[in-house]
Amino acid sequence: MTTLAIDIGGTKLAAALVEDDLQIRERRELPTPASKTSPALRDALKTLVQPLQSQAHRVAIASTGIIREGHLLAINPSNLGGLLHFPLVQTLEALTGLPTLAINDAQAAAWAEYHAIADETRDMVFITVSTGVGGGVVNDGQLVTGTGGLAGHLGHTLADPNGPVCGCGRVGCVEAIASGRGIAAAAQGSLAGCDAKTIFARAAEGDEQARRLVADSAQVLARLIADTKAVTDCQRVVVGGSVGLAQGYLSQVRACLERMPSVYHVELSPAHYRHDAGLLGAALLAKGEKD
């Protein structure tokens, strides 16, 4: 069976056809529209899926936001241009006429990454450092979604009570400092208005402020990983997202973690499926439920 997999992030939308052996075909991307209202997202999704849907038997969506009963509910609406709510499953079923499943993007990616290492571990955590910071927990071989879909939202744990206000309404969340948006928001002077990608490029050129912004993100992520180890006793933490996978980032996180007491140490690795973990995890879940 062929799955039309869709990944909805705060910065980009991706879609591809995924075969049951996890081969990916015809991957395409579009920028995520920054609009408070649903029609812009619906139209972008329509453009994305139209060339693919006739070849698919089902749709599987990995999406940013809390996913509850097929609806996207933003915990941090500012990551989606202020959009609070979107009827994901209903919209894709209407657009494609295909049975549709939806799950949080980081939970989906956790499931794909667990699949890649399942012969060596039963307890792992996936963290995406991207537009926001998302998480997915696999405990004793089971994906933990929570009854309301909130489980694993590690980006909204506390990093600094004196830190910036997060789009979720709390002060000092991990996401407000470590995410791509958080890094960009803290930039001043010559870097004001730059996105995280540009700030990483400046850091590689030796810009002091850029290096400090990247280092602050890596430090906050390392503390989050130590907290995650204490809560879950996981054997591995897998890191994805465009910031998480950026050159040199994970080695900085590892260096910060190594300075903490050894009880907090855990195997750290970059996502095996790189930027496709969300697409593949959603496809795997759809395959598991429908076959």
Measured from the CB atom, is 53 or 88 closer to ligand BMX?
Answer: 88
The CB density around residue 1, as the number of other CB atoms within 10 Å, is 13
Q: Render 175-243 in DSSP notation, one character per residue.
A: HHHHSHHHHHHH--GGGTT--HHHHHHHHHTT-HHHHHHHHHHHHHHHHHHHHHHHHH--SEEEEEHHH
Cβ of residue 124: shortest distance to ligand BMX, in angstroms? 17
Q: Please, which of residues 45-104 interact with Zn ion by CB under 5 A? A: none
Q: Please, which of residues 110-129 interact with ligand BMX by CB under 6 A? A: 128
Helix (H) or strand (E) holding 117: helix 105-117
Query: Interface mask (CB under 6 A) for ligand BMX, residues 144-163, using x and -?
Result: ---------x-x--------
Measured from the CB atom, is 53 or 186 closer to ligand BMX?
Answer: 186
Verify binding: residue 17, Zn ion, rule CB under 5 A: no
Among 14, 92, 101, 173, binds Zn ion (CB under 5 A): 173
Measured from the CB atom, is 9 or 53 closer to ligand BMX?
Answer: 9
Strands (E), the chain: 2-8, 12-19, 24-31, 58-63, 66-68, 71-73, 85-86, 100-104, 124-129, 133-139, 142-144, 236-240, 267-270
Query: Interface mask (CB under 6 A) for ligand BMX, residues 161-190, using x and -?
Result: --------------x---------------
Q: Which stretch binds ligand BMX (CB under 6 A): 49-57, 103-111, 116-124, 139-147?
A: 103-111
- Count, residues near Zn ion per rule CB under 5 A: 5
The CB density around residue 181, as the number of other CB atoms within 10 Å, is 24
Amino acid at 219: Q
Using CB atoms within 10 Å of the CB of residue 234, give its burial: 0 to 12 exposed, 13 to 18 middle, 19+ buried.
buried
Measured from the CB atom, is 172 or 241 closer to ligand ADP?
Answer: 241
Verify binding: residue 15, Zn ion, rule CB under 5 A: no
Cβ of residue 44: shortest distance to ligand BMX, in angstroms? 14
Among 15, 166, 186, 196, binds Zn ion (CB under 5 A): 166
Cβ of residue 120: shortest distance to ligand ADP, in angstroms? 26
Please state, in angstroms and rounded to a whole number, the distance separating the CA atoms of residues 245 and 198. 15
Q: Which of helix, strand or coil describes residue 89? A: helix
Verify binding: residue 76, ligand BMX, rule CB under 6 A: yes
Site residues (CB under 6 A) for ligand BMX? Answer: 9-10, 64-66, 74-76, 79-80, 104-106, 128, 130-134, 153, 155, 175
Site residues (CB under 5 A) for Zn ion? Answer: 156, 166, 168, 170, 173
